Amino acid sequence: MTAVTKAMRVSVALAAVLVAAPAADAPAQTTPPTPPPARRDDFREVVHGVEIVDPYRWLEDGKSAETRAWIDAQNRYTHEVLDARADREAIRQRLTALSRYDQQSAPERRGDRYFVSKRRARDDLSIL
């Protein structure tokens, strides 16, 4: 398992814990918030002889007013759930720390030279 894969698995696991576990000092909610509904269309198309059913095709148009409104509602719902958590900042810091590690690309040949890009954990951008 590569360092990238391991860090990603740890990040996903911690994010799942953040979402699933109740906040330590959060007041008990009588009813949990519900996510905004998503419209389901009866969209079907045939691609290379295979019927594709895609009830959420309308969400692919990121410039649509309806799609933007749905995304905004999803963001409000997400913040309503996560912002109340007292441990959110600690988990964010841990996920940030786990995502900061040294990276190096595979060598790439250009003419008679080889190049690699590197990004140290403390850097935001790679260097050649």
In this predicted model, what pLDDT tens digit does every residue of 11-37 receive, in sequence order? 555 555 555 555 555 555 557 889 999
pLDDT at 99: 84
97 within a domain of the structure (yes/no): no
The whole-model pTM stands at 0.54
39 within a domain of the structure (yes/no): yes
Q: pLDDT band for 113, please (50, 70, 90 cuts).
A: very high
Q: pLDDT band for 60, please (50, 70, 90 cuts).
A: very high
3 within a domain of the structure (yes/no): no
Q: What is the DSSP string of the chain?
A: --HHHHHHHHHHHHHHHHHHSPPTTPPPPSS---PPP------EEEETTEEEE-TTGGGG-TT-HHHHHHHHHHHHHHHHHHTT-TTHHHHHHHHHHHH---EEPPPEEETTEEE--EE-TT-SS-B-
Its domain, for residue 46, covers: 29-83
The CA radius of gyration of the chain, in Å to the nearest whole number, is 22
Report how far residue 102's alpha carbon sits from residue 127's, in angstroms, rounded to the nearest whole number.
Answer: 12
C-alpha distances out from residue 79 to 19, 41, 73, 89, Å: 11, 27, 10, 13
Count structural domains, the chain.
Answer: 1
75 within a domain of the structure (yes/no): yes
33 within a domain of the structure (yes/no): yes
